[in-house]
Amino acid sequence: MIILDGKKLSDKIRENVKKEVDELQKSGTTPGLAVILVGNDPASAAYVNMKSRACKEAGIYSIAHEMPDSISQENILDIIHMMNKNPNIDGILVQLPLPKHIDTTAILEAIDPNKDVDGFHPYNVGRVVAGLDGFIPATPYGVMELLKEYEIDPKGKNVCVVGASNIVGKPMATLLLNANATVDICHIYTKDLKAHTLNADIICVGVGVVNLIKEDMVKDGAIIIDIGINRLENGKLVGDVDFENVASKCSYITPVPGGVGPMTIAMLLENTIKSAKNRKQKA
């Protein structure tokens, strides 16, 4: 069993991003990222702080717009329109989830697709589905880079994606399909999850359920990508896979923490650099 070390790979990617930022700055371009945080959810605030720190370490200019959860949708849209017009901002991301009175789709669609470094705008979603160049959501993008680093080719493999969210599950399935895998998507209404996972050479799971994937649901030699992140009552972070009992059956497995999580931040930085390069070419 081999651990897929996302921390190690993300460090390598972030070091490369730093070099690319240095090169861009020499030619007069400093990449910029704007983050919009609505409300005071501790997990969301922690993610925003991590992104801000990562930007600072890489030399990327970053700004966080923090707003109370009572803010109106119109006020958020005004901020987005302002950022769309700001020539120094290459990436705009809205930390999800948003308060219930806000239409998340309307907010995401308001972002300029050329600055949509989260890859959630329908324009970029469509391009990725069609196999065209576009911004790929950071978490699935990170998983694909992790597979590539360990020379795991999804081509011809049976893959089970557990979770069908727009942020992780659907784009994950799309990228694997584009890589010529045979993809099975399971979700809350799937009747017999075990029947699907037992047939899989690769299982990607990200639904936020502790120990959802158990030893008897995994075939020998399977590759496990645990995208879930859950905090236990004792403060320990765990994924959606019963790691202790499943790991011995696997050929490869991601740990939580230290697997997919660090890759998400790294790929967000990659997307921001990509946007900055596009800006420089148009200048």
Whether residues 119 and 166 fall in one domain? no
Whether residues 108 and 161 fall in one domain? no
Whether residues 255 and 157 fall in one domain? yes
Residue 154 lies in a domain: yes
Whether residues 107 and 176 fall in one domain? no
Whether residues 92 and 47 fall in one domain? yes
Out of 118, 184, 201, 240, the active site residue is 118
Residue 21 lies in a domain: no
Domain that holds residue 71: 28-129
Out of 90, 95, 115, 226, the active site residue is 95
Whether residues 123 and 157 fall in one domain? no
Residue 15 lies in a domain: no
Looking at the structure of the chain, the number of domains it has is: 2
The amino acid that residue 182 corresponds to is: T
User: DSSP E strands: which ranges in 39-163?
Assistant: 61-67, 91-94, 158-162
Query: What b/e readout covers 112-150, taking b as 16+ CB neighbours within 10 angstroms?
Result: bbbbbbbbbbebbbebbeeeeebbbbbbbbbbbbbbebe
Residue 150 lies in a domain: yes
**Confidence (pLDDT) at 232:** 87
117 DSSP assignment: T
Whether residues 106 and 174 fall in one domain? no
Question: Considering 109, 129, 149, which residue would you say is the last residue of a domain?
Answer: 129
Question: Considering 129, 146, 164, which residue would you say is the last residue of a domain?
Answer: 129
Phi, psi of 103 (to 5 degrees): -85, 100
Dihedral sign (CA 166, 169, 175, 177)? negative
Active site residue 73: no
Active site residue 274: no
Whether residues 124 and 142 fall in one domain? no
Whether residues 255 and 212 fall in one domain? yes
Active site residue 118: yes
Whether residues 115 and 160 fall in one domain? no
Question: Considering 129, 161, 195, which residue would you say is the last residue of a domain?
Answer: 129
- pLDDT digit string (tens) for the chain, length 283 residues: 999 999 999 999 999 999 999 999 998 899 999 999 998 888 788 888 888 999 999 999 999 999 999 999 999 999 999 999 999 999 999 998 899 999 999 999 999 999 999 999 999 999 999 999 999 999 999 999 999 999 999 999 999 999 999 999 999 999 999 999 999 999 999 999 999 999 999 999 999 999 999 999 999 999 999 999 888 889 888 999 999 999 999 999 999 999 999 999 999 999 999 999 998 887 6
**Confidence (pLDDT) at 280:** 81
What secondary structure, in 3-state letters, does 29-61 show? CCCEEEEEEECCCHHHHHHHHHHHHHHHHHCCE
Residue 120 lies in a domain: yes
Residue 168 lies in a domain: yes
Provide the whole-model pTM: 0.94
Whether residues 255 and 162 fall in one domain? yes
CATH number of the domain within which 208 lies:
3.40.50.720
CA distances from 17 to 12, 30, 55, 56, 211 (A): 9, 12, 10, 12, 35
Residue 162 lies in a domain: yes
Residue 3 lies in a domain: no
- Which residues have CB under 8 Å from 233's CB, separation 6+? none
Out of 51, 115, 170, 274, the active site residue is 51
**Confidence (pLDDT) at 283:** 66
CATH number of the domain within which 61 lies:
3.40.50.10860
Strand-pairing partners, residue 158, are 182
